[in-house]
Amino acid sequence: MLNLAYFKRKSAAINDENAVEVVEDSYAPAIPYLSYPQKEPCQTITDTRFPNELDWVHYNAKIEALPRTPNRFNTNPQFWNNHQALRHREMFDPLALRTKIQMSGDPFLSLFSTHERYRYRILNDEGEPCPPFSCEYNHVKRDGKLLAVADEAGKISILETDKDAYIEHETARTQFYAHGNAVIDVKWSKDDEHLLTASGDRTARLWDAETHECISVMAGHDLTLKCANFHPTNKNLIVTGSKDGAIKLWDTRVCGARTADSEMTHSAIKTIQYAHDENRTKKRRRTLPTKSKPQPLERSVTAAFYLPYKDNIIASSGSYDGQIKFWDCRAGRDAQCVESSEYDGDSARPRGILNMIMDNAGTRLFTLCTDHHIYERNITDIRFSQQRYTNSDFLTGSGFYVQMSISPDDRYLLTGSREKTAFVWQVGRPQECHQFTGHEAEVSAVDWSKRDIGQLATCSDDFTVAIWNLDYSDD
């Protein structure tokens, strides 16, 4: 309800210059003021055992003098490792971690260890040792603890890494010969039903993971294959890269024919010639001066795979130009390079790329370069690198067999090296590096379990595959 008396008094006060005092004195609110009784002050409760303040001082002094159990965690959260921070979050108030804590990865990585019972020696049919060239963990079956290892003899070994079996028992292993030449790369399909191999016999083969039966032979490259990968959502589509500088796309549903040996062979549905040699399309092929017949100077494709969220885009890297290229491979048209990067290292000339991987989120590319650096690029702009990972002891080696892997949570980057050591960096911290020592020769292929951050594998030229597990025995 409006207070009409108030508005009448205010209008009369506007005509009178001296009525300001009247307005303030004569204003009465429409709602009456309610007065609340004031509360009496609270009484101070004291302990009847210590009526005097001096007694309290003596009592607190005795409490401080009692022996205390040292805290399990460091009082400064800045020095907590990952394990301590997670334990504190579970045992105490989660709001204690509201402040940002810079946790180093070294304490976590130092928990990894290997043992003789987790070392598998790779042998051929004659019982002679042969070096492993590639390895990869599966995705689903056996909780992701099946490791496929490809070796120089053309054999595929499937190790059950969840079993505690000494190598002399040789019980946790199945193997079969996939090629008549060295197998350079091996990949699991997303459902773990198929295995894909790339070999020095210039072919890629698709295998049934259970029966070890060859499903398809993909022949068409002129030189050794360097890589082979499945499409992220369609396992019938495959991409391969070779030392002949070509990228080929395959579809196991079309272009197939039976051979005299009852093998199903497929032809490539699309080919990108000289993917990382632009001069080849304009000039004659360069040759090396030799006494025998001149041989072409090839510029290999070291990595080629489909981008996970762009089904028609293929990313590739080369052994000579140090470039990353994105190819638009939509059906009905020739492949076109839609984006490329330039070598931005410290070397005077471009350095080749040994290996290239993508994180599980599909947002970052990591390239291992022959200048002993790992370059990190964002998928939205690959022209310039954002991070460089290196170490004074890190050497990539002269061969193009060193591989990389990333942890399932995208936090740690793992790679082999020439110096008998595997190196691990925490993503985003290029200055911090951890080394896994124990091999007796160059560490080539590495892989991190896709379902268990607490297990990884390293392959070495000492003819062994080492399985590294988290060990909390000293915690």
Q: What pLDDT is attached to residue 107?
A: 81
What's the pLDDT at 24? 43
pLDDT recorded at residue 322: 85
Q: pLDDT, tens digit, for every residue of 271-304?
A: 999 998 876 644 444 444 444 444 444 689 999 9
Give the pLDDT confidence score for residue 296 in this predicted structure. 43
Lowest mean pLDDT: which of 99-108, 176-185, 408-417, 460-469? 99-108
Share of the chain above pLDDT 90, in %: 53
DSSP-assigned beta bridge partners for residue 413: 406, 425
What's the pTM?
Answer: 0.74
Q: What is the pLDDT of residue 77?
A: 62
Average pLDDT, the chain: 80
84-101 average pLDDT score:
54
What pLDDT digit, counting tens, does each position of 390-400 carry?
Answer: 999 999 866 67
pLDDT digits (tens, 9 = 90+) for 44-90: 444 455 556 666 677 777 767 766 544 555 556 655 666 666 666 55
Q: Is the pLDDT at 453 greater than 80, yes or no?
A: yes
- 228-267 pLDDT, tens digit per residue, is 999 999 999 999 999 999 999 999 998 788 877 778 999 9
